[in-house]
Amino acid sequence: MNRPLTSDLSRRRFLAGGALGGLAWLASQRKASSQAPAVWVDRRKYGPFQCMASFSLTPLEAVFEELAQLQIELTRTLATPPGDQTVDLYLLADQRGHRAFLGELYPGLPYRRALYVQRAGRGAVYAYRHPELAIDLRHECTHALLHASLPAVPLWLDEGLAEYFEMPPGERAFGHPHQRALRWHLRLGILRTVESLERLRDLAQMGSLEYRFSWAWVHFMLHGPAAAHRALVEHLAEIRRGQTRAVLSQRLRSAVPDLDRRLVQHFSNWARG
């Protein structure tokens, strides 16, 4: 697909993981979203998602039916049980309305094409109708479901998983535009280690290379050596129990010898059979 990767950052949520406090505070100071300027003409529930749209969702039914399966897929691949939260989806008909809506709810925050925030203990996703809405929804809803299931998610891992699951199910393993660009990086000897990604504390520190390698390590853990997948699942289980004994990089390095070389190898061999 031809999604211009340069537009990625414009749709990223504003705050993530540990940095959520400020926005959560801000959200709690604001009135309920029902008082915002948008007029909801369609409301529907799909799985854990309560959708409110300023346009008819009928043409997008297939997108939402597939989106409702996202939790099942997260549970299947990560062994993370569903949270018991409903996630609110606010969908505007166009960018202008979306911008005005976000400006009303979160004045002063930089504009994002799509946004996930935690409001009063409940996840909310904001997006608008455009050709890549389905990608935005899968990306932001992955964040929302992960945060409903886990007390915290490391920033890079949160983004890597959202990048992975933003593709339609049939394109996650082979179809992400990151793959082609990543091959070039690896050929040129450019690599970001898990340790370097773990040092990132703020989305502002994440450029396209950091997003791409976050995606790459997630891909490696989901499609590479079984020991890497086990390390991820065990790490997430520890986070869920609130007793993380080691950072994921430590776990991965003890599970998979010569880890960085194995990543390179994984992608040089990775092709549809």
Tokens at 170, concatenated? 């049939």
Least spacing, CB of residue 116 vs Zn ion, in Å: 7
Work out how close the CB of 8 gets to Zn ion at its nearest, in angstroms, rounded to a whole number: 9
Instruction: Sketch the per residue contact string, 246 through 265, with Zn ion: x for CB under 5 A, - otherwise.
Output: --------------------
Tell me, what DSSP letter sits at residue 183? Answer: H
Asked whether the beta carbons of 178 and 212 are under 8 A apart, the reply is: yes
Q: How far is the CB of 262 from Zn ion (least distance, A)?
A: 26
- Kindly give, in sequence order, each residue whose CB lies less than 8 Å from that of residue 161, ignoring residues fewer than 6 positions away: 78, 142, 146, 153, 218
Helix (H) / strand (E) containing 32: none
Give min distance, CB of 161 to Zn ion, in A.
9
Q: What is the smallest separation between the CB atom of 9 and Zn ion, expressed in angstroms?
A: 10
Minimum CB distance to Zn ion, residue 162 (Å): 4
Tokens at residue 185, please? Answer: 């990086």
Size of the site for Zn ion (CB under 5 A): 3
How far, in Å, CA of 128 to CA of 38, rounded? 12
**Cβ proximity to Zn ion, 162 vs 231, nearer residue:** 162
Are residues 150 and 137 in contact, defined by beta-carbon separation less than 8 angstroms?
Answer: no
Residue type, 156: W
- Interface characters, 1-30, with Zn ion (x: CB under 5 A): -----------x------------------
In the complex with Zn ion, the residue whose CB is nearer, 12 or 98, is 12
CB 250, CB 198: distance < 8 Å = no
| Stretch of residues binding Zn ion (CB under 5 A), selected from 33-41, 65-73, 152-160, 247-255 | 152-160
Q: Decide if residue 203 touches Zn ion (CB under 5 A).
A: no
For Zn ion, which residue of 89, 125, 148, 162 counts as binding (CB under 5 A)?
162
Q: Which is nearer to Zn ion, 162 or 239 (CB)?
A: 162
- Using CB atoms within 10 Å of the CB of residue 198, give its burial: 0 to 12 exposed, 13 to 18 middle, 19+ buried: middle
Q: Which residues bind Zn ion (CB under 5 A)?
A: 12, 159, 162
